[in-house]
Structure 1
Amino acid sequence: MAISLDKLMGFHHKAMQVRTDRMEIISGNLANANTPGYKARDIDFQKAMASARYQQSQQMTRTHEKHFEGQMRTQAEIEFRIPEQPDTGDGNTVEVQAERNKFLDTGMRYQAGIQFLNGKIKGMKKAISGGQGQ
């Protein structure tokens, strides 16, 4: 019986990738907090994961031995964030405290994902070894 690592962890791996991308974008927002005219950006996590689910269900199969294996990938849509506070006059939409909170929240969810995947890997190792020796 073959074990499909992609089926076991593929979706969670995608979630980790989206969270990594989101933290990079938020970092860019924070770095440009004082740049006039800069527009804060973000990734809609729910849309990105819905896209990942769709891609997972639409995996391509090879029809010829010289075709590449894999699936089509689309990068999560990066959107401009709608500011909650009025414009300060310079056109910058970065709200530093909100960005920090989003960064911390995403980081905590990333860590929780790491712990979840570690648990899956430990369980798989235990199943392979028959529960002997740790």
Structure 2
Amino acid sequence: MIGKLDEYLRFNETALNLRAQRQQLLASNIANADTPNFKARDIDFNKALQGALAKSGPPNAPEMARTDTVHLSSKNGNTVGGAPLLYRTEQQGNVDGNTVNMDAERNQFTDNAIRYEAGLTLINAQIRKMLSAIQGQ
């Protein structure tokens, strides 16, 4: 029973986790807007979501053997959900080598925040439906 509930909520849970990680990445870009030679980073959210969903798989799936702790893991800081961290293409040249475009970063940050809120709304609706079914209403 718990496995079915987990499967029912897995997609939105995974999407929210990736949105939160992306929000931290975008916030880091904004925070480093004045740092010389800082290169703005982002992820391809669709690829990251596909990778995270493929990696999560069934609850009792066997795990692959690792010869090093960072193999097949996103803990090395170069991937999010199995998708690589990408550098943003430079839109305007900057003398100090910084590639952060504050307008683009603010837009991406706001868009991601709105999508995160939408994901929360969807999970709340799913939980309400489950409660309604359990209570027989």
TM-score by length of 2: 0.80
| 1:43 and 2:60 are equivalent in the alignment | no
| 1:114 and 2:120 are equivalent in the alignment | yes
Unpaired segments ≥5 residues, structure 1 = 63-71
CA-atom RMSD in angstroms: 1.9
Letter in 2 for 1:82: T
- Answer with 1 or 2: which has the greater Rg: 1
- Residue-pair matches, total: 120
Unpaired segments ≥5 residues, structure 2 = 64-71
Q: 1:122: how far off?
A: 0.1
How many Å separate the matches in 1 of 2:73 and 2:133?
32
SS in structure 2 opposite 1:37? coil
Structure 2 equivalent of residue 129 of structure 1: 135
| 1:82 and 2:89 are equivalent in the alignment | yes
Structure with the larger RCO, 1 or 2 (CA within 8 Å, 6+ apart)? 2
How many Å separate the matches in 2 of 1:29 and 1:123?
38
Contact 2:38 2:100 in 1 (8 A): yes
Greater shift in the superposed pair: 38-47 or 76-85: 76-85
How many Å separate the matches in 1 of 2:129 and 2:73?
29
| 1:102 and 2:108 are equivalent in the alignment | yes
How many Å separate the matches in 2 of 1:58 and 1:128?
24
Contact 1:55 1:73 in 2 (8 A): no
Structure 1 equivalent of residue 26 of structure 2: 26
How many Å separate the matches in 2 of 1:101 and 1:5?
35
Q: 1:5: how far off?
A: 1.9
How many Å separate the matches in 2 of 1:20 and 1:92?
24
Q: Identity over aligned residues, as a percent?
A: 38
Q: Which runs of 4+ in 1 moved over 3 A?
A: 56-59, 72-75
How many Å separate the matches in 2 of 1:110 and 1:123?
20
